[in-house]
Amino acid sequence: MDTKAFKRSLHSSENYHRKGFGHEAEVTTQLESEYQSNLIQEIRNHNYRLQRGDVTIRLAEAFGFCWGVERAVAMAYETRQHFPTERIWVTNEIIHNPSVNQRLVNMNVGFIPVEQGEKDFSVVDSGDVVILPAFGASVQEMQLLNDKQCKIVDTTCPWVSKVWNTVEKHKKKDYTSIIHGKYKHEETIATSSFAGKYLIVLNMKEAEYVAEYILKGGDCNEFMAKFSRATSPEFDPDQDLERVGIANQTTMLKSETEQIGKLFERTMMKKYGPDQLNNHFHSFNTICDATQERQDAMLGLVEEKLDLMVVIGGFNSSNTTQLQQIAIDRGIPSYHIDSAERIGSGNRLEHKPLGGDLIVIENWLPGGEIVVGVTSGASTPDKVVEDVIEKIFELKGAVAVV
C-alpha cells in the first residue's frame, strides 16, 4: 500500500480534521480549571522544592503534560463542543491517563470496544466522529474509518508523525526499519503500519541478538520464534537485514535508542566496510523533545540525596515506565502509581513494580525527616501530581503522630 498517497488523499478530505474548531479560548479555560494546579506552580516558583514538617518534596524540573498531550486533550474537548449531538468515538485511550479518559467518558465520548484483543469497529456508523489519539492509529484503521465516511479528528502528536515519515523513507529506499519499541504498544503498531519491512526490538539485549545474527548468521527458525510478533509479514532475517534504518517509539529511553542506533551502525560498518555504510544503514533523530527533557530532568533529580521516588502516570504509559527505570537504575526505592487513590491510610501503598503486577505494601514511607522525589509522565495532569503530594503530606503527618 502507498501510505504516503493514502495520507495525502485523507488529509484533503472534508471529513478529516487535524486542527481545532475555533473553541480554543473556552477549552483552554476549561482545561486549566480541571487539570492545572496552584500548588505545583508554587513548587516550580520555589526551585522545584517544597517542605512541610518532616517531608521535603523535590520535583523534577520537567514533568507532566507535554505539548502533544495538551494538544490531543484540547482537540478532544473541542470536538465534543463542535459536535454536540453526534456520536463520538476514540480509537484508543486519548492519552495514557485514567482520569483524563474517564473525563471523556463523562462527556459522552465512547471508546472503541475490544473483543478478544481485536477492536470492534462495527459500533461505528457513517457520519460518526472518530478521534485518533495522541499516539496515532494504524493505516488500516484510518482506511476503515475513511471508507465508513466518518468524520476523523486526528490528534496524533507531530513527533509520532515524524517517525512515520522516517519509516516511509526507509520503505522507499528498500531499507528494513528496525524500530526500538514495544510491539504491542499502540504507537509502535501505528508506526509499523507505515513501514515496509520492519523488525521491532524491545531493548539492547534483543538488538545485540539481531546484530550478532547480521554478522554471523544463525538459526532462522529460532530468530523468527523469538520475534514472531515483532516483524513484518514474510520477514526473512537472512535477506531483510542487509539494509537497515533505525526508528523508535517516541517514549522509549533516549539513551537506549541512541545505543541501539550506534550498535547497528557499527555492525553494518563491520560487515560491509566504511565505504559501503551509507548503502546499508540509515539513521534519523526521531527522539521526542518532551521525552528527552523529562528523562534528562529525571537523570538530574536522581543525583540528589533522595529517600524514595514517586513516579506518577498511567500503568500502560511507556514514558512513565522509562522514568521509573532511571530511578531504579540509580538504586532509589521507586513507586509507580497512577493516582493519589493508590495511597491508603495506615501507611499503605498500592503500586506497580517495574515489569510486574500491582501489589500492596505497608509502611512505605520511612519515619523521621525524608526527601521524596516526584515526577510524572507526559500524560499526567498537574492536578493529579498535586493530589499525590498532598496525600503524602497527610500520610506523613499521620505517621508522625503514631
The count of residues in the chain is 402
Output the nine-digit C-alpha cell for 338: 497512577
What does pTM read for this prediction? Answer: 0.91
Report how far apart, in Å, the C-alpha atoms of 189 and of each of 104, 117, 137, 274 are: 24, 13, 8, 33
317 assigned to some structural domain: yes
Give 53-86 pLDDT, tens digit per residue: 999 999 999 999 999 999 999 999 999 999 999 9
At a CB cut-off of 8 Å and minimum separation 6, what does 83 contact? Answer: 129, 151
pLDDT value of residue 60: 98
**What is the H or E stretch that residue 151 is in?**
strand 151-154
Give 114-165 pLDDT, tens digit per residue: 988 899 999 999 999 999 999 999 999 999 999 999 999 999 999 999 999 9
- With a cut of 50, say whether residue 316 has pLDDT above it: yes
Query: Cell numbers 537523570 label which residue?
Result: 299
For residue 50, the cross-strand partners are 57
Output the nine-digit C-alpha cell for 331: 538504586
Contact predicate 312/290, CB 8 Å:
no
Give the mean pLDDT of 353-359.
95
pLDDT value of residue 402: 35
Give the mean pLDDT of 338-367.
96
Q: Which residue, of 156, 184, 212, is where some domain finishes?
A: 156
CATH code of residue 365 = 3.40.1010.20
261 and 302 belong to one structural domain: no
259 and 329 belong to one structural domain: no
146 assigned to some structural domain: yes
Quick check: helix, strand or coil at residue 236?
coil
DSSP string for residues in 48-89: TEEEETTEEEEE-SS-S--HHHHHHHHHHHHHHHHSSSS-EE
Contact predicate 199/230, CB 8 Å:
yes
Longest CA pairwise span in the chain (Å): 71
Give 153-170 pLDDT, tens digit per residue: 999 999 999 999 999 999
pLDDT value of residue 288: 85
| Burial category of 126 from C-beta neighbours within 10 Å (exposed 0-12, middle 13-18, buried 19 and up) | exposed
- With a cut of 80, say whether residue 400 has pLDDT above it: no
- With a cut of 80, say whether residue 382 has pLDDT above it: yes
Assess whether 187 carries a catalytic annotation: yes
Residues of the domain holding 152: 67-156
Q: Can you say how many angstroms the Cα of residue 156 is from the centroid of all Cα atoms in its chain? A: 12
Give 234-264 pLDDT, tens digit per residue: 999 999 999 999 999 998 988 899 999 999 9
How far apart are the two ends of the chain, measured CA to CA in Å?
Answer: 66
pLDDT value of residue 349: 98
183 and 261 belong to one structural domain: yes
Give the mean pLDDT of 354-378.
96
Q: Which residue, of 100, 126, 156, is where some domain finishes?
A: 156
- With a cut of 60, say whether residue 398 has pLDDT above it: no
Residue of 78, 168, 187, 256 marked catalytic: 187
Pairwise CA distance, residues 117 & 29, whole Å: 37
150 and 199 belong to one structural domain: no
234 and 310 belong to one structural domain: no
Give 293-309 pLDDT, tens digit per residue: 999 999 999 999 999 99
Q: Which of 328, 304, 322 shows the shortest CA–CA distance to 376?
A: 322
Pairwise CA distance, residues 54 & 176, whole Å: 55
49 and 108 belong to one structural domain: no
294 and 182 belong to one structural domain: no
pLDDT value of residue 399: 56
17 assigned to some structural domain: no
